[in-house]
Amino acid sequence: MKLIKLEPGLKYDGSQIKPMWAFQSLGVKGSSIVSWIGPMNVQPDELIDYEDVGLEIKSDEMIHFIIEHFDAQPADMRLCYHRQRILIMIVQDLLQEIGIKTHRKGDDLYCDEGKLSVSVATCSASSMKIHFAMNLTSQGTPKKVKTVGLLECSTELDIDEISKLPDKISKTYKDEIQDIEEDIAKTRVF
């Protein structure tokens, strides 16, 4: 699995969840995790989750992750959702390590009562895709949703720690998936 960290500034608009985005936009072939810091504004025609229809999905600044797996053919929606939850639990553990206590409801993380993250999982004929993002601040988020950003969850968190967080999350996720693959390869079946 390839780990790619982009320069800050790319706006997540929903098009990045489409299959083969990393290959078509960045030349990255195969399973990958692409991370970056940037705004988000998903237009209604780019929504994937039917529960989100009619909602505003936006933020001025977030840490984004786009994960694409090609290892199951045909792509498996259930496996994709399991991997999404693994990612979110990894993020929750790593945030705890830097002093940010969160609680999880499904595929969302909350700090106190504020919604910290957004996420979606989907499949195409050839791959499984996950988008996960966390607010850095609550600026630019929908008025109808109580949101919070990482910088508002901790007064001790600085930009240096934030810039290291995507790398640590990506590597930990990659290692977890690899560890599962190694466990499968060493287990006798009947």
Walking along the chain (190 residues) 10 residues at a time, the average pLDDT comes out as 96 94 96 97 68 72 98 94 98 95 96 95 95 95 92 85 93 97 90
Determine the pLDDT at residue 55.
64
Q: How many structural domains comprise the chain?
A: 1
Give me the pLDDT at residue 43, please. 77
Angle between helical axes of 159-186 and 77-97 (0-180°, round to 10): 130
Structural tokens at position 55: 């909602």
| pLDDT at res. 45 | 63
Residue 24 sits in a domain of what CATH number? 3.30.930.10
60 Cβ contact list (under 8 Å, min separation 6): 39, 137, 139, 140, 141
For residue 184 the two structure tokens come to 């499968």
Which tokens hold the place of 148? 């919070």
Tokens 């933020």 — which residue?
A: 59
Q: Record the pTM.
A: 0.93
Q: Which residue has the tokens 């009947």?
A: 190
> 79 lies in which domain range?
2-186
> What pLDDT is stored for residue 162 in this prediction?
86
